[in-house]
A and B are shown apart, each in its own frame.
Chain A
Amino acid sequence: RKEVEQDPGPFNVPEGATVAFNCTYSNSASQSFFWYRQDCRKEPKLLMSVYSSGNEDGRFTAQLNRASQYISLLIRDSKLSDSATYLCVVTRYSSASKIIFGSGTRLSIRP
């Protein structure tokens, strides 16, 4: 089982819809959580950090559920430009810092 798992999708939704996807992690020692966005053939770009209290940035809301070991990303009023792959990133610290990327969830917004 992978340490960080995401539904690969693709999620194909109409413009204006609300879409949500989760990312589960297996190591309870995980400490920091992020959502990155990656466009085709480009580098990942940080979308937002994820806090236990949840955080919102415009149309994007991220939440962390430590008890169930998952993080979520909600996109409201989706735009065509939201089409991308969304990567879940988990970091933890033991003897050495460890950064693990999920395999990504592909989102496609249709007109």
Chain B
Amino acid sequence: GAVVSQHPSWVICKSGTSVKIECRSLDFQATTMFWYRQFPKQSLMLMATSNEGSKATYEQGVEKDKFLINHASLTLSTLTVTSAHPEDSSFYICSAKTSEGLADTQYFGPGTRLTVL
């Protein structure tokens, strides 16, 4: 199946710093990428939908100025958590959707565990 990678897999940072997370589709072109956040023992919450070459669409309650998304190519999307605070500590997962095959199928990256001290 399609492979999606994320980098870094975990990061610890000080409060007030910014953290960039990369999401790459390794063997396919992703027309759309999604960013999710998952707190312990809770389900995935969609943060934003990102289409290559256009602005991301953010879900209600997600601050677009705090969570900057750049989808520069069909294989790369980045999420930057600006001025991170302890309440931003979470598991961030990206997924990518291809226009081929099962078009609605999402392929998930392995996730990035962010801890803000």
Residues of A within 8 A of B (CB): 32, 34, 41-46, 49, 87, 89, 91, 96-97, 99-104
Total A-B contacts with CB atoms under 8 angstroms apart: 43
Given contacts A32-B104, A49-B102, A97-B49, contact A43 B111 (CB under 8 A): yes
A sample of 11 more A-B contacts (CB under 8 A), given A34-B104, A43-B109, A101-B44, is A32-B104, A43-B110, A44-B44, A46-B106, A89-B106, A99-B46, A101-B43, A101-B45, A101-B46, A103-B43, A104-B43
Closest CB-CB distance, A76 to chain B, in whole Å? 24
Chain A residues, CB < 8 A from B73: none
Asked if B28 is at the interface (CB within 8 A of a chain A CB), the reply is no
Asked if B54 is at the interface (CB within 8 A of a chain A CB), the reply is no
15 contacts between A and B (CB under 8 A): A41-B91, A42-B110, A43-B93, A43-B110, A44-B108, A45-B108, A46-B106, A46-B107, A49-B104, A97-B49, A99-B46, A99-B106, A103-B42, A103-B43, A104-B43
Cβ-closest chain A residue relative to B94? A43
Asked if B67 is at the interface (CB within 8 A of a chain A CB), the reply is no
CB atoms of A43 and B43 under 8 A apart: no
CB atoms of B111 and A87 under 8 A apart: no
Closest CB-CB distance, B39 to chain A, in whole Å? 12
Chain B residues, CB < 8 A from A103: 42-43
Chain B 30-81 residues near chain A, CB threshold 8 A: 32, 34, 42-46, 49, 57
Number of interface residues, chain B, beta carbon within 8 A? 22
Closest CB-CB distance, B47 to chain A, in whole Å? 12
CB atoms of B105 and A46 under 8 A apart: yes
Cα–Cα distance between A17 and B86 once the two chains are bound (Å):
43
Cα–Cα distance between A87 and B44 once the two chains are bound (Å):
9
CB atoms of B108 and A91 under 8 A apart: no
User: Interface digits, B78-97 against A, CB 8 Å rule (1 contact, 0 not)?
Assistant: 00000000000001010000
Chain A residues, CB < 8 A from B113: 41
Cβ-closest chain B residue relative to A85? B43
CB atoms of A102 and B43 under 8 A apart: yes
